[in-house]
Amino acid sequence: MGGLRCSRCGLVLLALAGALSCGVDEDVLAQVGRQRLYMAPFQVYVGEVTGEIWQGVDTRAASRLLDQYLDQQVILEAARQKDVGDVSGEGRQRPREMRLLLEELCGTAPSPPESMVEEEVARRASELRPARAHVRQMLVDSQEQAEAARERLIAGNDFVEISREVSRAPNAAAGGELGFVDQGGLPPEIDEVIFSLAAGEISDPVKSPSGYHVFQVLEVVPAGPPDHRELEVAVRAELRRKATRTHLRQCIRDLASEIGVEVQTRRLWFPYRGKYAEEQDEA
């Protein structure tokens, strides 16, 4: 009987061990430096970012999200090891705090060479800039509401006041301000209406999937060669953004290599195709 009782105990222990091993939520996801990451927080992260249950996210999206999640954990672990910032607690930081940590860890990206700026400015200077219009809008639910708002505008009422009163556009409180838009950059039915108006004119109601729009054009800039100074400023800013993205991507890759990242790909519920899997394969 004693042997039988022990045998039964052994079976119970094996069953319990098997049940625990099936609990994927508590399994280790990855080792990042000295930090052990578990599956459940990543699954919560996937749900928060996508608004879907984690099991329903497709492989490509899940791989991309795991890359982003691991990048954040690499930054936090590097900050801990290098005593940069305050990353105590749960390890969840706001985007602004993450940017500050990354800037402190990685430093400032090198400015693009002047020769590159001059070359890109010269290339774009030969291209005609499309016509542009400075526009503001109202967005309402029905054609009747749009026509009533338009009649009030034609009667001389203030656009900003009416926008704040009746519009449901996200920018209604700012008077429906859209800034300058390029011809050809909007849905055709809206683009055609806006660029048929002269400065100061108000459109008839325009139907779209969002509702009914009323537009006013404040200024029209005809197509032509771009302003050289504006072009140089825009090109310099664009190249600086690209250089910063490249610099930070390489910095995160270097930090990951320095502190070590090991992903437990077999425990994932999807076939991981991200960059950390590629780096493990190369190693």
pLDDT tens digits for range 121-158:
999 888 888 999 999 999 999 999 999 999 999 999 99
CATH class of 132-221: alpha beta
Band of residue 282 on the pLDDT scale cut at 50, 70, 90 = low
Summarize the confidence of residues 222-246 as an average pLDDT: 92
Cα distances (angstroms) measured from residue 186 to each of 2, 169, 171, 195, 249: 82, 16, 17, 11, 32
Summarize the confidence of residues 22-27 as an average pLDDT: 50
Domain ranges of the chain: 22-105+250-282, 132-221
**Above 60 in pLDDT, residue 43?**
yes
pLDDT tens digits for range 169-226:
999 999 999 999 999 999 999 999 999 999 999 999 999 988 999 999 999 999 888 8
Band of residue 26 on the pLDDT scale cut at 50, 70, 90 = low
Q: Which residues of 22-33 are buried (b: 16+ CB within 10 A; e: fewer)?
A: eeeeebebbbbb
pLDDT at residue 87 in the model = 76
pLDDT at residue 97 in the model = 86
Summarize the confidence of residues 11-17 as an average pLDDT: 36
Higher pLDDT, 23 or 49: 49
pLDDT at residue 142 in the model = 95
pLDDT tens digits for range 254-277:
999 999 999 999 999 999 999 998
pLDDT at residue 280 in the model = 62
The residue behind tokens 């222990």 is 13
pLDDT at residue 94 in the model = 78
**Above 80 in pLDDT, residue 89?**
no
How many Å apart are CA 67 and CA 89, to the nearest integer? 22
The residue behind tokens 């006013």 is 216
Q: What percent of the chain has pLDDT over 70?
A: 87
Higher pLDDT, 157 or 13: 157
pLDDT at residue 88 in the model = 62
DSSP state of 205: P
**Above 60 in pLDDT, residue 2?**
no
Q: What is the mean pLDDT of the chain?
A: 87
Cα distances (angstroms) measured from residue 235 to each of 118, 123, 150, 171, 281: 9, 11, 39, 28, 38
